Homo-oligomer: A and B are copies of this chain.
């Protein structure tokens, strides 16, 4: 008996991500994906019931990955600003290095593929970020406004920075990264 090959799923995912970043969610077909992954079209259907299931699974995988990576190396005993910058940089690095995932996630947001269920599961993943910001407020280091507003502010600055970097509007370097962090931090600080 032959067993399903986890590597195949990864191949399929990576092919889909690459194509979505290049052509958008509207521009990819199952044929494209299988070709890019180097397998037969039918094989994709061994791993996923259809296009919908494939897209939903990839969406879930990307969301989980993004959260996991963001908190990598975070130690609660770090001083807040240091911890915050650590995570801020993690997120930035993740988004720069996994731009395809980010594009995919953004495109999915307004697509008929993603089910309400998948969407809700994704939302629950932001809990750790809320906790982090509340810690900063307790230590009176950052403004004591609606945490949702603060997170929106933070994520917004990073997202746009990544987008502009990838489209050549900005050439990022160490100094610009620090400047961008300072823009964000100066906005947040109490």
Q: Are A176 and B111 in contact (CB under 8 A)?
A: no
Residue of B20, B152, B160, B183 touching A188 (CB-CB under 8 A): B183
Most buried by B among A152, A170, A186: A152
SS of A interface (majority): helix
**Chain B residues with Cβ under 8 A from A186's Cβ?**
186-187, 189
Binds B, one of A2-10, A33-41, A61-69, A141-149: A141-149
Number of copies: 2
Q: Are A153 and B157 in contact (CB under 8 A)?
A: yes
**Chain B residues with Cβ under 8 A from A143's Cβ?**
179, 183
**Chain B residues with Cβ under 8 A from A161's Cβ?**
149, 152-153, 156
Q: Are B179 and A152 in contact (CB under 8 A)?
A: no
Interchain CA distance A22-B159 in the complex, whole Å: 22
Interchain CA distance A20-B111 in the complex, whole Å: 8
Interchain CA distance A110-B28 in the complex, whole Å: 12
A152-190 residues with Cβ-Cβ distance < 8 A to B are 152-153, 155-161, 163-164, 167, 169-170, 176, 179-180, 182-189
**Chain B residues with Cβ under 8 A from A180's Cβ?**
149, 152-153
**Chain B residues with Cβ under 8 A from A159's Cβ?**
156, 159-160
Q: Does A103 contact B (CB under 8 A)?
A: yes
- By a beta-carbon cutoff of 8 Å, the part of chain A in contact with chain B is 20-27, 103, 106-107, 109-113, 143, 145-146, 148-150, 152-153, 155-161, 163-164, 167, 169-170, 176, 179-180, 182-189
